[in-house]
Every structure is written in structure tokens, then in C-alpha cells.
Structure 1
């Protein structure tokens, strides 16, 4: 069996559960990085075990804590509701129908101060590990365990070549690449996992490409 020591021992965390607490906090923290603060409100749609037993495991508090940027071992997780209210962040919870997803899953809808929104779905898959399944309807499915670029772009020929060219020029090796689109010739989302961190200057070069709409960097 391919089992790591991390999966056996579990993550460094504030409990009680690696999947319902630590995983939930990490999922929300990564989702908030993708959606990019500040936020006026976050709605959490809980599915499966998150909806059924999440409150007893502190899933609700962990999700709010993650949105606030608290890490999985932060002792403030238990008081995250108070921290959110003090920060002026509104939040609510509801039961979501996410058929076909892992039993520990959630839909996070971020409403920004300017009224725009971003919707992210993801799962806590055990041992504090997560999968980001979709961003604004684009299929993504990445674990955020390696350096990751999220590029929103126009779906036209040559864009992928331009993006990979910038990375190659800066000696950034691509480990995994996945492209998702909703319709031909519209917009696409490109998930690129890299072997090394993507610095701010490289992000600026990617942002400057004519057919690139936005670039989000997650360095681990």
C-alpha cells in the first residue's frame, strides 16, 4: 500500500478531526487565497458528512477560520466566529447538494466588497489533505500540495504556448498541467503545478500576456 507517515500520524492541527477540522480549515484558506480578499460575506454550502456531523467536529468554525487565513494548528479556530464578526465578515451555512463529490465537501461562495463573487467547491479527503474541485464552474481538481498557478485565459490558439514559454524562460519546470473550458472559443482555466515557486516578477509577465485574464499563485 502507498501510505505516507503523514497520513498515519495526521497533520499538526487544532482538533478534533483531521478531515472535519484541519481539512476544512485548509480548504477554506486555499479557497480564500484563490478568491482574493477582502470579502463582505462568505456562504458555506455543506455536503455529506460536513452537513450531518460537521458542527460537532467544529467544521463550521474551521471553515470560517480558514477564510480568515488561520492555519490548521491555530488556537483561534474555536473562536473564529467572533474574529470574523470583529473583522466585519458576514457568513452563513446551508446544506448543499453536491452529488458525486466526496462526503466531506463544501461549496464556498465569496462575495467581495465590490459586489462581485467567486464560487469554489472542494473536499477534505482525509489526513488534512484537500482537493479543490472547481472554481467558478471550471473543473480544476488539484490538491494545493505543490506550487500551483491558476491562470484564467481566453480560449484561443497559442495561449498555452505563451504561458509555458514564460515559465521556461524563467527556469520554472511544469510538473502537471490541466486546462478546463466551458465552451469552445470562450474562456478557459489552466491549472499548472510547478517544481519551484513562482515569484512576483514572473506573475507580472504572465499577467501582461494579451490573452491572459488573471493569474493566481499558490506557493507552498
Structure 2
């Protein structure tokens, strides 16, 4: 992977003991919270894979990921008490363990529900506090959260991506990366676009108004 700066190597300011098992886990939780709309989930089922599954209790991965779901930054002193804080906030948390060789060893699946919203996120902690989201709502997409990111739910149709990028061109928004997945031809699809800078609300509303777009979400851990 490409590192943006020296802090990508040594890791962020954090509650320890591990940039991979705690800081990265908190960032996965933060991404999932933003994908749920920035609200605190009422129900969270968290499944750990690989080394996460083997060591999450000892390394505080469970505390860190729940802290992220509560909106805590990687260095928030409340992380050690995240489970108590979640209970006080009305979040019902269930932990599970699984084996899946497809994913990075430090991987978690988060199934969240809150109000009338739900989201399923699979993310991996890849070192130095950096993360890679590999799936959102069963779409296979990759992004890291290190850039302002658009997640666009839409119908698969000819010209839709061109309409989206034209709107971004009008806003003079520079695309860092783009990933697209679909359930089938003319069926449900999702596009993830990482940008150099956040978009104004007016542009987000314009994107949401494009024919075939069902919703626009944003993730920004910068």
C-alpha cells in the first residue's frame, strides 16, 4: 500500500496496545457509524475473523470497535469503558467469531441497525492504524477512509457514472479512486469515490437527484 506520511507507518495517536488491533478497529467502527448515517446503532453484531477472533479480548479490539461505533476517536480516553458506554447509550452489542481465509487476518464484519436504517460493513485493519473497507451491504468495494469518500447507492444504467462524474467536474472535485459493483445488469449497484476534498451540501443534493440514484452517503476520517 502507499503511505501518505510518517504517521501512516508509526500509527495515529491512540489508546493502546496495538495500532492494528485497537486504532484500526476503532477506525472500522467509525466508518460503519458514518455509513449508518452518523447515528448510534441500537443493535450491533460484530464478527471477528482471523487474529482479531483469536485476540480481540486481550488486545481490546472489542472495546475499540465499539468505541468507534460510539463516535470515539482512536485516542479517546473513554475507549476502555466503551462497552459500558454502549449499554448506557442503548446499544445492544453481540460478539461472534468466525474463520474466513478470504479476508485479511485482522478483519471484522459489522451488522448495524438503528431506527429505520441498517448497514453491513466488512473492514480490515492493515497496519499503522490504517483500514481497508472491503464490503458494504454485500457489495464488494474497497476504500480506506483516509480521503473524503462518497458512497452512492444506485440502479445500474448506462450513463449514470458519466452523470456523476460530470457533476463532480462542475464542482472541480478531483477523484482519487473509484470502485463500482452491481448485483446484476440493470439491478442494484454501488459506487465508491474517494476525493481530494469534501463536497458542499449543494453538490451532494445534486448527486442524490440524478436519475437512478437511490442515496448518497459520505465517509470522512480525515
Normalising by the residue count of structure 1, what TM-score does the alignment of the two structures yield? Answer: 0.94
Q: Deviations over 1:52-83 (max 9, x none)?
A: 01110000011110000000000000001111
CA distance in 1, matches of 2:165, 2:157: 15
CA distance in 2, matches of 1:196, 1:39: 27
CA distance in 1, matches of 2:151, 2:9: 30
Distance 1:217 1:48, change over 3 A: same
Distance 1:123 1:87, change over 3 A: same
Superposed displacement of residue 197, structure 1: 1.3
Superposed displacement of residue 212, structure 1: 0.5
Distance 1:26 1:136, change over 3 A: same
CA distance in 1, matches of 2:58, 2:113: 27
Mapping 1:81-120, distance limit 5 Å: 81-114=83-116, 116-120=117-121
Q: Aligned pair 1:61/2:52, yes or no?
A: no
Structure 1 runs (4+) greater than 6 angstroms displaced: none
Q: Given that residues 72 and 79 in structure 2 are in contact (C-alpha distance below 8 angstroms), is that contact kept between their aligned partners in structure 1?
A: yes
The unaligned stretches of length 5 or more in structure 1 are none
Q: Given that residues 38 and 113 in structure 1 are in contact (C-alpha distance below 8 angstroms), is that contact kept between their aligned partners in structure 2?
A: no
1:208 aligned partner: 209
1:196 aligned partner: 197
1:6 aligned partner: 7
**Structure 1 stretch 22-31 or stretch 166-175: which is displaced more?**
166-175
Superposed displacement of residue 210, structure 1: 1.9
Mapping 1:92-171, distance limit 5 Å: 92-114=94-116, 116-171=117-172
The unaligned stretches of length 5 or more in structure 2 are none
CA distance in 1, matches of 2:88, 2:71: 14
**Secondary structure of residue in 1 paired with 2:42:** strand
| Count of paired positions | 219
Q: Given that residues 28 and 67 in structure 1 are in contact (C-alpha distance below 8 angstroms), is that contact kept between their aligned partners in structure 2?
A: yes
TM-align CA RMSD? 1.6
Superposed displacement of residue 182, structure 1: 1.9
Q: Deviations over 1:67-101 (max 9, x none)?
A: 00000000000001111111111101001233311
CA distance in 1, matches of 2:11, 2:73: 15
Distance 1:92 1:2, change over 3 A: closer
1:28 aligned partner: 29
Superposed displacement of residue 156, structure 1: 0.6
Q: Given that residues 124 and 132 in structure 2 are in contact (C-alpha distance below 8 angstroms), is that contact kept between their aligned partners in structure 1?
A: yes
